[in-house]
């Protein structure tokens, strides 16, 4: 049953990653009047926001997939080299690219100050947890490394859960003011993920089999 749950979860994340690719394709034209960019016309001309947006959009799928590889028992035990490479790709991308670009986007987020605080805090925690995950693997503290990676990837998945909540509100026809809905989604997209991560950490779901010592 646990194996089936892992397979279903991995398949759902891979499917979500594929949808993220499809959502990002229209932006390859670099035109300013496409989908989400319709709401960002006031900041589109700000160079650092614009390039942060494209960078964030185009590397999101790589982060989702590379992070998912970190939770594969098969790769960890049978192909530790792939596990390490995927881990470095994930960490470098989050710390140097996705995290900083998300921080810039968060500062200019729609929804006003409360949404901005949410997304800025998300970016800071995302970078911080990922850095600590790398720090602990260098220190060969396998348990803390696993815990921090669990927290980091939970925040990575906020890109998926944000869209899931937005779709849910639209599908259910909930009468919520757009601004209020966006603020709620901004916070719920990552706080609930982090609460779930803490539950999994307390239950030692990943720590037990990630504790195998692999040289970095």
pLDDT tens for 35-67 read 889 889 989 999 999 999 999 999 988 899 999
Q: How far is CA 110 from CA 83, 113, 118, 186, 192, in A?
A: 37, 9, 11, 10, 21
Q: Which residue stretches of 32-177 are H helix?
A: 47-69, 73-78, 80-93, 99-107, 113-138, 142-156, 158-172
- State the maximum Cα–Cα separation within the chain, in Å, rounded to a whole number: 53
Q: Is the pLDDT of residue 108 over 90?
A: yes
Asked if residues 82 and 214 have their Cβ atoms less than 8 Å apart, the reply is no
Average pLDDT rounded to a whole number, residues 146-157: 95
pTM here is: 0.89
């Amino acid at each position: 049953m646990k194996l089936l749950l892992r397979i279903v979860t991995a398949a759902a994340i891979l499917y979500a990653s594929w949808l993220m690719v499809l959502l990002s394709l229209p932006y390859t034209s670099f035109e300013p009047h496409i989908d989400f960019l319709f709401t960002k016309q006031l900041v589109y001309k700000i160079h650092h926001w614009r390039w942060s947006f494209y960078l964030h959009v185009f590397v999101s799928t790589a982060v989702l997939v590379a992070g998912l590889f970190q939770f594969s028992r098969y790769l960890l035990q049978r192909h530790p080299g792939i596990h390490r490479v995927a881990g470095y790709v994930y960490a470098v991308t989050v710390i140097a690219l996705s995290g900083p670009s998300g921080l810039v986007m968060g500062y200019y987020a729609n929804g006003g100050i409360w949404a901005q605080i949410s997304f800025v805090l998300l970016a800071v925690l995302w970078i911080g947890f990922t850095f600590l995950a790398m720090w602990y693997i260098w220190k060969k503290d396998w348990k803390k490394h696993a815990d921090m990676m669990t927290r980091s990837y939970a925040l990575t998945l906020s890109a998926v859960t944000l869209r899931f909540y937005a779709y849910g509100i639209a599908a259910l026809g909930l009468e919520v003011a757009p601004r209020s809905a966006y603020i709620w989604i901004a916070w719920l997209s990552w706080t609930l993920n982090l609460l779930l991560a803490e539950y999994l950490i307390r239950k030692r779901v990943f720590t037990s089999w990630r504790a195998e010592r692999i040289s970095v």
